[in-house]
Amino acid sequence: MKLRRKLFSVKDPYDLSKDELFLGACRENWSYLMTHCEDYRKISEGLGLKSVDDIKRPEDLPVIPTMLLKQHDMRSGAYLASATSSGTSGNFSTIRFDLGGLWADLKMALKMSSYHKILSPRPCRYIVMGYKMHRGNKTAIAKTAFLTTLLAPAVSRKYILKYRDGAYKPDFEGIMEAVCKYARGKLPVRFMGFPAYTFFLLQMLDEKGVNVTLPKHSKILLGGGWKQFYQEAVDKQTFYKLAKKVLGIDEENICEYYGAVEHQILYTHCRNHNFHVPVYSRVVIRDPDTLEPIGKDLIGLMNLITPLLTATPVLSIMTDDLGVLHDGSKCGCGIEAPYFEIIGRVAPGEIKTCAAGAADILNGAGK
Amino acid sequence: MILYAGTVYDSSEQNRLLDELKTRIPQTLAREPLDPECVINAIDRLRQDTLAGKFDELLVNLPKDTVAAYKAQAAVLLSKDMLHLKLKTELGNTAEYETEGAEGFSRIRVRTMPLGVILHIAAGNMDFLPAYSLAEGLLTGNINILKLPSADDGLSLKLIMQLIEYEPKLKEYIYVFDTPSTDIYGMQKMAALSNGISVWGSDVAIDAVRKMAPTGVKLIEWGQKLGFCYVSHLAENAEAEEELRALANHIADTKQLLCSSCQVIYLNSDSDEEQAAFARRFAPLLEEAVGKNKSDEIGVRARDTLVSYTARLKDILGEEEVADNVIRMRGCSVLISDNSRLELSPMMCNVLVKNLPEDRLTQVLTESKNYLQTAGLICPADERGRLTDTLLKSGLIRVTRAGNMSAYFPGESHDGDYALMRYVRHVNVEL
């Protein structure tokens, strides 16, 4: 995976001159998957992609929907660690990490964090609006939340979701007490985790008449659970204003992430709150009827591509998210790479059918 | 949430309430039976309020075109006239009568009475199904215990509470529990209280109910089915083009999700060339129909496309599909298959085309005898009678025009039975 190493070592995370390197790393990843993952090879060949020359652009790669990964576990070669998506519906996908992928992931996270000034040597206190890692919890969000607390030295970590009596329960009271205590101290506070919980906490603090000014350099880092958050359509300006009012944290110290367990790129908001696509990945928006790539400024299904991992065939995945891609220059933050907006999700719920149940049997009985 | 005799309780109260129900049921049974007119009046008021938009906010999660279709159906099917017709068709004359008697035997009085208590285990695959099943139980005067499907989003409960508001008498006849199917203990308790269990769902669901039902309880099963269309001698059919268009519309409209939806198009032929030629002819018609039926909502379209694409990849993984026997069109496909098995298509407008000559029809269909329900038929007029007979003899329940495979026909049976007839008993009293 020479080209992967090279790609994830690129200094400027938004370098626009690396298209050729990106395509090369994708082809390298594809070739590996073709020889190490029987299912991937079948899909690729079934879609008519038989030789590396068939892949002329990243969008030519076979697209694997996360929907398929949730129904059909695919693995390719050795792995060191694994994570599962935090699926609430009972279906979840398992993503495995190879050593090289983990290294590349770490390098990418450090570069993105450093670029966006989240990486800091200044010790701080963390309030994690998410799960505390424990043995029985393999969800990626728990790991991500924990890893994020390493971006600046941690003096303490407090988790809102506590594992008690076999289930996770939110402890808003405990968090509120901690906030008031930390406001009297000197160390910056970092909030990390689910936007929905964070917003709920802000509302609760506001209702109780709490308004403190947390120490300088305090930040709110938001990631995970974005999908629900977008559905609830909380106006971002409302969020920013509330954070300022209740905690004294300015808009520029609120940083948002986007990512998926199947696509471990740490998309980080720029100062204009846009997600630019870094050198490590490509975002292709596809027509909701034909899945053909469509141009900028049009809404479609989000296809995320990165040659980060080899232990799971997640080179090019299709999420359930609907999004739009814009020209980087329209943002005005200085980053020229294109940026995307999440517009929503595909229609909720399982497809309802009464014909499908009958098929299970025929498959069993008919053969 | 639990709805128990008109009051809402938390799910945690389930066991206490089920214990209490044991003493409550005999009290209700001992009273004057429920008059179907009460039920009909309440349903008709529900219909009027639905049409007036009273429940629109409950329907916001459904696609707009679906809501419009539901309302159009409710307008007709829930009307007083239609409900009276349903009672008459399904139960016949329910007036009490005395038999003529026979030499050496006593005469009897015959009366139609409710079964008693019916447990409804409704599947989550059709909106309104739980409420519909419950309404059938009420129309026949039964006490109803309804186990909601896990996928129910609160719509059923709200509609049922509305019925009770219109007609408070109904509350003694309605007990709704949101017990998960995994709560075997709770399910067994409900089953033990019942005279009949009406279960809708997949084979897995029905098998589970059979295992937990007490011996002797009447099982009323509504299983899942597979629909198909049989096409014979197109060249001799003057209306061929029109009928194929109607079939394409049916596929695009139901997206092949219903029991009655067309999964497979069978050709009365043995020729691979004819099969391929048919697929080429049908593909553009299907594409056109899909284009016309496309939802305006991007989220719905994107989901359908994703499901269909995922099914395609799963087929590739199962090596069931070879790339050159599929005609792919925009938003749909026609899959040419080399076997004649009745099977589920990938759905979402991806239809299978198979050869099945008339002389093998019965043999092939009897292999799937428990899953037969609706067959669309496209054939020359002089073949219709003969082919209809063959299909019925093979086990089909409904034979329709291709475009009407999922249509509702007032007076029709459900999988060969009149539902209401299964919810009553005919009692005899010696004179």
- Which residues on chain A are in Cβ contact (under 8 Å) with B341? 362, 366
Report yes or no: A188 at the B interface, CB cutoff 8 Å. Answer: no
Residues A168, A237 within the same domain: yes
Q: What is the DSSP string of B149-164?
A: PTT--SHHHHHHHHHH
CA–CA min distance A318, chain B (Å): 9
Mark which of A231, A259, A287 sits at the end of a domain.
Answer: A259
In chain B, what is the straight-line distance between the N-terminal and C-terminal CA atoms, in Å?
48
Token pair of A26, please? 């994708």
Residue A339 reports pLDDT greater than 60: yes
CA–CA min distance B257, chain A (Å): 5
Residue A355 reports pLDDT greater than 70: no
Out of A65, A351, A354, whose CB is closest to B126?
Answer: A354
Domain annotation covers residue A103: no
pTM over 0.80: no
**Total count of residues recorded for chain A:** 367
Residues A146, A252 within the same domain: yes
Residues A146, A39 within the same domain: no
- Which residues on chain A are in Cβ contact (under 8 Å) with B125? 352-354, 357
- Which residues on chain B are in Cβ contact (under 8 Å) with A291? 305, 309
Work out the average pLDDT over A61-83.
80
Least confident of A62-71, A156-165, B70-79: A156-165
Residues A175, A126 within the same domain: yes
CATH number of the domain where residue A33 is located: 2.30.38.10
| Residue among A300, A283, A304, A309 nearest A74 (CA) | A309
Residues A121, A45 within the same domain: no
Out of A301, A344, A348, whose CB is closest to B306?
Answer: A301
List domains and CATH numbers for chain B.
Answer: 2-224+415-430 (3.40.605.10), 226-404 (3.40.309.10)
Domain annotation covers residue A104: no
Q: Is A356's CB within 8 Å of B223's CB?
A: no
Token pair of A348, please? 């909720």
Residues A195, A252 within the same domain: yes
For residue A164, give its domain range. 117-259
Report yes or no: B63 at the A interface, CB cutoff 8 Å. Answer: yes
Q: Is B305's CB within 8 Å of A290's CB?
A: yes
Amino acid identity of residue B40, one-letter, is I
CA–CA min distance A260, chain B (Å): 17
Domain annotation covers residue A359: no
Residue B204 reports pLDDT greater than 60: yes
Residues A152, A238 within the same domain: yes
Domain annotation covers residue A289: yes
Least confident of B312-326, B334-348, B393-407: B312-326
Residues A43, A124 within the same domain: no
Report yes or no: B305 at the A interface, CB cutoff 8 Å. Answer: yes
- Which residues on chain B are in Cβ contact (under 8 Å) with A351? 257, 303-304, 307, 347-348
Domain annotation covers residue A63: yes
pLDDT in tens, A2-42: 899 999 999 899 999 999 999 999 999 999 999 999 999 99
Residues A212, A132 within the same domain: yes
Q: Is A361's CB within 8 Å of B126's CB?
A: no
Q: Is A349's CB within 8 Å of B341's CB?
A: no
pLDDT in tens, B164-175: 999 999 999 999
Helix (H) or strand (E) holding A173: helix A172-183
Check residue B372 and report its DSSP letter.
E
pLDDT in tens, B35-51: 999 999 999 999 999 99
State how far the Cα of A92 lies from the Cα of A95, in Å rounded to an integer.
10
pLDDT at A137: 55
Domain annotation covers residue A320: yes
- Chains A and B form CB pairs within 8 A to the count of 154
Q: What is the DSSP string of B235-251?
A: GG-TTHHHHHHHHHHHH
CA–CA min distance A283, chain B (Å): 17
Q: Is A47's CB within 8 Å of B371's CB?
A: no
| Residue among A271, A307, A289 nearest A10 (CA) | A307
Report yes or no: B225 at the A interface, CB cutoff 8 Å. Answer: yes
pLDDT in tens, B321-333: 454 588 888 888 8
CATH number of the domain where residue A186 is located: 3.40.50
B177 CB-near residues (< 8 Å, 6+ apart)? B2, B11, B14, B145, B146, B147, B148, B186, B190
Residues A133, A238 within the same domain: yes
Residue A283 reports pLDDT greater than 50: yes
Nearest CA in chain B to A301: B302
Out of A48, A63, A354, whose CB is closest to B259?
Answer: A354
Give the three-state DSSP class for B6: coil
Work out the average pLDDT over B383-387.
97
State how far the Cα of A96 lies from the Cα of A81, in Å rounded to an integer.
6
CA trace torsion B62, B63, B68, B71 (10° rounding): -10
Least confident of A153-157, A264-268, B304-308: A153-157
Q: How does residue A365 score in pLDDT terms, banded at 50, 70 and 90?
A: very low
Amino acid identity of residue A67, one-letter, is M
Whether the Cβ atoms of residue B240 and residue B234 lie closer than 8 Å to each other: yes
Residues A174, A242 within the same domain: yes
Q: Quick one: angle between helices B203-212 and B184-192, nearest 10?
A: 70
Give the three-state DSSP class for A266: strand
- Which residues on chain A are in Cβ contact (under 8 Å) with B371? 358, 361-362
Mark which of A229, A259, A289 sits at the end of a domain.
Answer: A259
B26 CB-near residues (< 8 Å, 6+ apart)? none
pLDDT at A359: 40
Report yes or no: B102 at the A interface, CB cutoff 8 Å. Answer: no
Report yes or no: B261 at the A interface, CB cutoff 8 Å. Answer: yes
pLDDT in tens, B100-153: 989 999 999 999 999 999 999 987 667 788 888 999 999 999 999 999 887 677
Mark which of A214, A234, A259 sits at the end of a domain.
Answer: A259
Number of domains in chain A: 2
Domain annotation covers residue A32: yes
- Which residues on chain A are in Cβ contact (under 8 Å) with B370? 361
pLDDT at A239: 82
Residues A151, A242 within the same domain: yes
| Residue among B161, B167, B172, B131 nearest B38 (CA) | B167
Domain annotation covers residue A97: no
State how far the Cα of B357 lies from the Cα of A22, in Å rounded to an integer.
55
| Residues of chain B above pLDDT 90, percent | 65
Nearest CA in chain A to B207: A361
pLDDT in tens, A264-274: 888 888 888 88
